[in-house]
Structure 1
C-alpha cells in the first residue's frame, strides 16, 4: 500500500453537526464519470441548482486549486484538497464566507462490472449550521441524492452516444 499524504487522506468532518453519505451505481466508466464531475465550469449544464461554477486556478485540478460557485443561495469558494484521477476528489469551501457554512465534500469512484460505483459524502459546520442543523441536513441529503441521480443520467447518456 502506498503512503498517502494528509491531503490525500482528507475527508469529511465526522464530528460536524450535519453529515450526509450517498452512493449510486452508474452504467458508465469511472473515466466518463470523472470527466463530467471534474469539469466544474460545465456543472451548470447538468446541475440546475448551480447557476454559476468556475475554476479560478489555471491548469488541471490539483490540491490548492480554487473554484467559485453558487448553490442554495450561497456564494461558495472551494479549494481542492485531494485529487486521485478517476478515484477520489475532495474539496472544502465556505458558503457566504468564513462565518458561513463550511462544507467538506468527498467523491469516490470505484470501478464495477456494471461501470462505476459513485459515492459522495459531505459535512457541514459553522455558525448557521450550529444554530439550526435540521434544515441543513434535509437540504444536504436531498442535494447529494439529486446530484448523484443527475451525474448517473449525464454519464450514461454520454456513454450511449
Structure 2
C-alpha cells in the first residue's frame, strides 16, 4: 500500500455505478461515536444484519489492517485505507471475492452543536453491480441510513446520563 499522509484524502469511487451518501446528527462525543464505529468485533451487537465481523490484523486499526465480515449475504474482506481518530475512517473491500462487489466506504465525524455530525458514503462497483445497479443502489441507500440510525441510537444511549 502506498504511503499516505494525514492530509491526503481517500474517498469513494465517484465514477462507480452505485454511490450513496447519508449523514445524521448525533448527541454524543466524537470519542464515543468513534469507539463504537471502530470496535469492528462488536458491530454485531448494534448491527443485527451483520452476523459476523472480526479484525484479522493485530493492534489498533491502521492503514493496511484487514477485517472480515458478512452483510447482505456476502462474505466481505476489507482493508483499512485511512484512519484519522475521531475524524475519518476509510476502507475498501470485496464482497464475495475480487469478481464480486468492490465497495469503498468513508465515515467522517465533524463536531456539530452538542455532538457530532456523522457522514457516511460508499461506492459499489463490479460485475454484480453492473448487472443490477438499481437493486444495489436501493439496498445501499437503505443500509447506510439504517446503520447511521443505529449508530446514533447506540452512541446516544451510551452517553445518556
TM-score normalised by structure 2 residue count? 0.95
Match of 1:120 in 2: 120
Q: Give the Cα separation in 1 of the matches to 2:158 and 2:27.
A: 10
What are the within-5 Å matches in structure 2 for residues 110-149 of structure 1? 110-149=110-149
The 1:21–1:109 alpha-carbon spacing in structure 2 relative to 1, beyond 3 Å, is same
Query: Structure 2 CA distance, aligned partners of 1:104 and 1:22?
Result: 14
- 2: distance between equivalents of 1:158 and 1:82? 26
1:45 and 2:45 matched: yes
Deviation of 1:40 after TM superposition, in Å, equals 0.1
* Structure 1 stretches of 4+ moved >4 Å: none
Whole-Å separation in 1 of the counterparts to 2:99 and 2:126: 7
Name the CA distance, whole Å, in 1 between partners of 2:64 and 2:71.
21
Q: Distance in 2 between matches of 1:40 and 1:119?
A: 18
Please tell me whether the aligned partners of residues 25 and 114 of structure 1 are also in contact (alpha carbons under 8 angstroms): no
* Counterpart in the other structure of 1:89: 89
**Residues paired across the two proteins, number:** 158
Separation in 2, partners of 1:100, 1:6: 30
Contact 1:75 1:95 in 2 (8 A): yes
TM-score (norm 1): 0.95
SS at 1:150's partner residue?
helix
Unaligned runs of 5+ in 1: none
Do structure 1's residue 35 and structure 2's residue 53 form an aligned pair? no
Gaps of 5+ in 2: none
After superposition, the CA RMSD in angstroms is 1.3
